[in-house]
Amino acid sequence: MIVMKKYLLAWCLLFGASFANAQIVTQNQEQVPVFPGCEGQTDKPLQTCFFNKVQDFVYNNFKTPSDLESGYKGQVNVVFEVDDQGNFKVIYIDSNEDKLSREARRVFAQLPKVGPPTYNGKSSYAKYTIRIAIPLQSTAEIEAVKEKLRVAESKNYVKNVNKELKEYDSIVYHKFNNPKFESQLNIPFSHSYYAHFDAAMNQVGTNNHTATKPYTYAEVAKYFNLRAENDALMKNKKSWFGRKLWNENTVQIQGEGYWFTLNPIFDLQVGKATSNLKDESTYLNTRGIQIQGGLGEELNFTTTIYESQGRFADYVNTYARSIGAKGDPGNAVIPGIGITKSFKSDSFDMPLAEANLTYTPSKAMNLQLGYGRNFIGDGYRSLITTDGVSPYPFFKINTTFWKIKYTNTYMFLKDIRPAATATDGTYTTKYMANHYLSWNATKRLNIGLFESVVWANTNGRGFDMSFFNPIIFYRSVEFSSSSKSGNALLGLTAKYKWNNQFNFYGQLLVDEFSFDAIKDANKSWKNKIGYQVGAKYFNAFNIENLLIQAEYNRVRPYVYSHSNAVTNYGHANQSIGHQWGGNFSEVLLIARYHRQRYFADARFTYGKRGLDFNEVGYDIKNYGGDIYKSYNDDRAVDTHANVAQGNATTVVIADLQAGYLVNPQTNLKFFLGYVYRSFDPIRENATTFQQSTNWFSIGLRCDIFNWYFDY
């Protein structure tokens, strides 16, 4: 009962305070009651007079009960109303003594009738609050106490003008213990680093969800002791420089409820690329700053700023220029990085920024506002969402409960083709919404369902709130808006844990699937599907930390493309699905190994791609490999659409890398790398030609995102 009284009092006091404030703010409309003796006054003086008169009346008429204990001190809070007739009415009284409440009610019943409060000149009613101090105080005594406090505060201020305060010096710092390892901060997605805990994350019986990446540190910490691994790598360095170089963050601060780190980021490489067409000295000069931190347990953040200049192997440079913005050779697009500008005569200037703000209000929900990339899948490639595309703004909701993880992602994308660029130089805006439901059907089997829709900012449509609902079916909404207004795509993922050493995984991509075409059994172009099958062998041959992986990807022609090129499944002239676009098959063999600070990675790729001939007078048809062409423009076939149709090109890539981990805090690595690439089309033209490349490189790199040069 006492608790209810206090809640009611708090509500009344709040209401009364708000009303009193309104008297002052809107004094041209509202007027307090006119107590006898306050006639002729208005606005603030009238308000002061009214409250003083009420206070004095209570002081002169209130009789403190004689049976109160000696020396009793307290207060009586009275919420009262003055109605439109000028009558006082008690609404609520709060006091620890019932006898005081009764006396207050008696006194208020004796208050004289006053001039009623007014609103816009008309009689109204109003609520007020008064506090009756026990022992009683007159108005003069109350004002004297207030004045004494004002004088004391003034003296203290004058006294402290030349006195240093201790607030700054009293800030408490703790020994930094790497709180990120248990935080909700995202672990930078690097295939090589994620291999450290991939086996632990895929043990039989775990109830986690490994397809949505990047992981948070808290997700991984449940199955793999990141802190223990970090501690085991520490070198015995006493000097500040030695500790910062080999073991620690450059700046690391931890206090009461907060922490943050600051590190310089480097990617410094030099190399030599030789081919049958052109020899190229290569380099990369990347400098950056990364800041990470946490505020409380719920809020974490990271931001990284890069400034880079570089030149790559000829096949990379040529491809980057071919997908450049605005048709400008200097305005190339480096896959996974973004738009560049010319640097010197033959290099690229590549600014890049990434950021993520993570809020975790409960164990079941994680919210992320980011500028970066996402990945869905258990393989090296993803057919439905890959990190091989340039960064983009996004908002992500992760909801985890029971055996389910449900991920909603809302993305803001760009079409930067010359045909989609406005006369003022601005790029066309497009949007994507996708959701992915991951379900652990058994302790071994995981099944995932994916749905995505892309739409353009046409006719002032903007971000269509029809797709913001996290539990709606996008295909139905897209159909109701006209199938040509958006591009819907469906996906299915699966993973089976044979045991703690062997995992099998796969994806099925469905883009505008046609049952009628299936019945016709004529390989219609409408059956735009792709699939992935793969396997992982952890601690292979009983060698600790050796991962072997095999993967096969196959995507039919015209997948990811759309009737309107703007609403394809792409961003900044790159595919959001597989980096090769459509119309290909691919085999991947991967091995990764690490021991203490040493590591080695090897990857072999064999693929068949169906490219366009793009030769006027010979063949300018669209064979379904270029996702930035409308599938209605110059489509090569309607039936008997085969993978690798068109300018069939064989791609062979071998990528080897080995090195030493310098600093585990930034994943700074010294490495030696070698890439062999053979690109062999059946017909050469201006943009597609036979090329065999050997690319050697050496460098010092913070491995915090994936470089993809296998295209």
Segment among 124-133, 487-496, 653-662, 675-684 with least mean pLDDT: 124-133
Beta strand pairing call for 122-123 and 118-119:
antiparallel
pLDDT band, residue 156 (cuts 50/70/90)? low
User: pLDDT tens across 501-513, in order?
Assistant: 999 999 999 997 7
Q: What residues form DSSP beta bridges with 284?
A: 269, 310
Q: E strands within 210-332? A: 212-213, 251-255, 258-275, 280-295, 299-311
Q: What is the mean pLDDT of residues 672-677?
A: 98
Kindly indicate the confidence band of residue 23, based on its pLDDT and cuts at 50, 70 and 90.
very low
The most distant pair of C-alpha atoms in the chain lies apart, rounded to whole Å, by 114
Per-residue burial over 20-44, b if 16 or more Cβ lie within 10 Å, else e, is beebeeeeeebbbbbbeebeebeee
Q: What is the dihedral of CA 321, 326, 330, 335, to 10 degrees?
A: -40
Q: How many other CB atoms sit within 10 Å of the CB of residue 160?
A: 10
pLDDT digits (tens, 9 = 90+) for 228-257: 999 999 999 989 999 999 999 999 999 989
Q: Which residue blocks in 119-210 are alpha helix, DSSP H?
A: 139-160, 191-194, 198-201
- Tell me which of 124-128, 523-527, 607-611 is least confident: 124-128
pLDDT tens for residues 46-70? 888 998 999 999 999 999 888 887 7
Angle between helices 43-61 and 98-109 (to 10 degrees): 120
* Whole-number pLDDT of residue 461: 72
**Res 88: pLDDT:** 93
Better pLDDT: 158 or 539: 539
Assess whether pLDDT exceeds 50 at residue 201.
Answer: yes
Is the bond preceding 470 in cis, omega lying within 30 degrees of 0?
A: no
What is the per-residue pLDDT for 2?
A: 45
Lowest mean pLDDT among 77-86, 170-179, 501-510: 170-179
- Measure the N-to-C terminal CA separation of the chain; round to a whole number of Å: 73
The DSSP H or E segment spanning 228 is helix 226-232
Closest by Cα among 276, 270, 343 to 315: 276
CB contact at 8 A, 405 and 584: no
Q: Which residues contact 189 (CB under 8 A, 6 or more apart)?
A: 213, 214, 373, 375, 387, 705, 706
Q: What is the mean pLDDT of residues 169-181?
A: 86
Residue 658, pLDDT > 70, answer yes
pLDDT (tens digit per residue) in 314-373: 999 999 999 987 656 668 999 999 999 989 888 999 999 999 999 999 999 999 999 999
Q: Do the bridges between strand 365-372 and strand 352-362 make them parallel or antiparallel, or are there none, so unpaired?
A: antiparallel
Least confident of 10-19, 287-296, 405-414, 434-443: 10-19
Mean pLDDT of the chain: 89
CB 309 within 8 A of CB 350: yes
Nearest CA-CA partner of 511 in 570, 585, 458, 587: 570
Instruction: Say how far apart CA 601 and CA 610 lie, in whole Å.
Output: 29
pLDDT of residue 329: 60
Range with the poorest average pLDDT among 60-64, 382-386, 449-453, 601-605: 60-64
Contact 508, 384 (CB under 8 A): no
Q: How confident is the model at residue 415 (pLDDT cuts 50, 70, 90)?
A: very high
Query: Helix (H, G, I), strand (E, B), or coil: what is residue 263?
Result: strand
Give the pLDDT confidence of 205-222 residue by residue, as tens digits. Answer: 999 999 999 999 999 999
Residue with the larger pLDDT of the pair 93 and 680 = 680
Report the chain's C-alpha Rg in angstroms. 35
Q: 3-class SS at 58?
A: helix
User: Would you call 232 helix, strand, or coil by DSSP?
Assistant: helix
3-state secondary structure (DSSP) of residue 572: coil
The pLDDT, as a whole number, for residue 261 is 97
SS3 state of residue 316: helix
What burial letters (b/e) apply to 586-603, b meaning 16+ CB within 10 Å?
bebebbbbbeebebbbbb
Contact 390, 336 (CB under 8 A): yes
Question: 44 or 396: whose pLDDT is higher?
Answer: 396
Question: How many other C-beta atoms can be found within 10 angstroms of the C-beta atom of residue 366?
Answer: 24
Please give the pLDDT value at position 7: 42
Q: Locate tokens 């209605």: which residue?
A: 632
Instruction: Answer yes or no: is pLDDT of 292 > 80.
Output: yes
Helix (H) or strand (E) holding 663: strand 647-663
pLDDT at 475: 64
Residue 624 has pLDDT above 50, yes or no: yes
Peptide bond into 135 cis (omega under 30): yes
702 membership: H or E segment, kind and range: strand 691-702
Euclidean distance between CA atoms 448 and 378, whole angstroms: 11
**Partners of residue 495 on adjacent β-strands:** 446, 505
pLDDT score of 125: 83
**Rounded distance, CA 352 to CA 614, Å?**
33
What CA–CA distance (Å, rounded) separates 267 from 285?
6
Assigned token pair, 15: 């209401």
Name residue 447's beta-bridge partners.
439, 494
Residues 161-186: what's their mean pLDDT?
Answer: 82
DSSP H or E segment with residue 450: strand 445-456
- Closest Cα to residue 392, out of 380, 409, 378? 409
Q: Is the pLDDT of residue 131 over 90?
A: no
